[in-house]
Structure 1
């Protein structure tokens, strides 16, 4: 199942992608009340797990999902929100692709490198993102996101993917001049809207093996990153297990798993052209769809 967040009148509502379009679950329920409880919030679906997913699936199966239904939206008309709206934790893994570590002349990590972002960084597909006036070096990073579905603590690697609800695409935007100003990366990673997330939260059963997915970043029509999650140093199962040994993961937590080679920072200094107002970046991950954002100058 592909879940989305629909922004409407300042609210973040649950949508589900179908062949007919995006079903606005709240609007559908208003027209066709359900006999049993159906969640209308993506966080409630994540927390409800398979039972909540099944409830939505059963409800939608009984709907008239033609494109003419008032609650069926064309994707072009959707105002997207982040596909996970209120994660308890946003955990990021740095330098997790071999070729990316090599292009930035960094040592291959012995252990996963963890840092964090905050909810202020979350935004959705199609949203314009203001380049903060405090940076001149804004870089893109295509990344696979793990969305936790069950409370996890001291989880074995062999069982780790059983705790995953689903996956999504993210652009882990990075202000390199701020990131590298000190030994701590947080400042360059946590400006507003630095984690556009989506368009879909795809349940794990539809994704299959997350450690073998094509991943790309496209800037103004030019493919800049073109790799596969198989190049990750630490796979998704190892990441979930490792993090769970150091903190309790809860439903809705998201883990950004690192970016492949092809970022601006990996180029020779005289060839680095960072993101500018008017640029458009698309992140594509196999089975997860395309996430596109346009960049503008910050107005203060």
Structure 2
């Protein structure tokens, strides 16, 4: 299944993509109302959502062009990002090897959706691209063994962990540069885990104005997806709808010579094989008065 969140007629909802251009709304089925995809994962799980979709066969669908997409999970309790998880990126960043993953967090207000504008804030000209693969948790847990990790995953989606680099490097902590409003693009949908073999090699490509600037795949991760699930769940309980953003390959703009940052009018794409292509435009943001 391809699951997504959207706004239609002024109402936020979620559903499944039917073909390429129509959506089955799954928030309201009979007398059952589950308002968000995060809650649906918690209440039903992926199999329960599949059953809910089957029950809606033949119901009217909504055209993609009639909705405004939202981040796949608009309201995650946690967005956990992994830094320096591709060897070539670690080397270009000139960072030492570590025995454990580098973690930082995003907040829901930092997210935006496929097709939305990514704001270039007036406080910076160092808006950088970071194409990544996001993992959405479907079944929660604590201290999840690596061997069981796949069973806790609901699906996968493209993510652009766009970063305000000068603010990121104000201090040794990255929170500021990773949480400007609307900079983390997530979408257009997630493909559920049952459609993709556990451990399958997923290819990731980032393009700026049609030119490839990053390429990597999940075989190149320093810390595998099961290792990330195990490590994070040792620290904190994972919950349905939590998002793990697994890291970016080499080629980020800040480490290029000369540096390459996104500017007003640029088009940025993050494509994950077998999943989707995420596309956004960069637009200069006017400071609020």
C-alpha contact (below 8 Å) 1:121/1:191 kept by paired residues:
yes
Picking from 131, 145, 161, the partner of 1:156 is 145
RMSD: 1.9
Cross-structure match for 1:42:
37
Give the equivalent residue in structure 1 for 2:269.
282
User: 1:1-300 alignment to 2 at 5 Å?
Assistant: 1-19=1-19, 21-25=21-25, 34=30, 37=32, 39=34, 41-47=36-42, 48-60=44-56, 62-63=57-58, 71-73=61-63, 75-210=64-199, 212-268=201-257, 271-300=258-287
Distance 1:211 1:94, change over 3 A: farther
Instruction: Indicate the SS of the match to 1:187.
Output: helix
1:215-236 Cα shifts (integer Å, max 9, x gaps):
0101001011111111110010
Q: Which runs of 5+ in 2 are unaligned?
A: none
Partner SS for 1:245: helix
CA offset digits 1:27-57 (Å, max 9, x no partner): 9x6xxx64x7474531232112034223223
Structure 1, unaligned runs of 5 or more: none
Give the Cα separation in 2 of the matches to 1:55 and 1:276.
44
Q: What is the aligned length?
A: 286
Q: Is the 8 A contact 1:17 1:23 kept in 2?
A: yes
Contact 1:38/1:52, CA 8 A, preserved across alignment = no
Residues 114-162 of structure 1, C-alpha deviations (whole Å, 9 max, x = no match): 1101010111100012111111211000111111111210111111111
Q: Distance in 2 between matches of 1:282 and 1:76?
A: 19
> What whole-Å deviation, never above 9, does each CA across 1:11-41 have from its counterpart, x for those lacking one?
32113111263224169x6xxx64x747453
Q: Distance in 1 between matches of 2:196 and 2:132?
A: 15
Normalised to the residue count of structure 1, the TM-score between the two structures is 0.89
How many Å apart are 1:241 and its aligned residue? 0.4
Judged with a 3 Å threshold, the aligned counterparts in structure 2 of structure 1 residues 7 and 72 are, in CA distance, closer, same or farther, namely closer
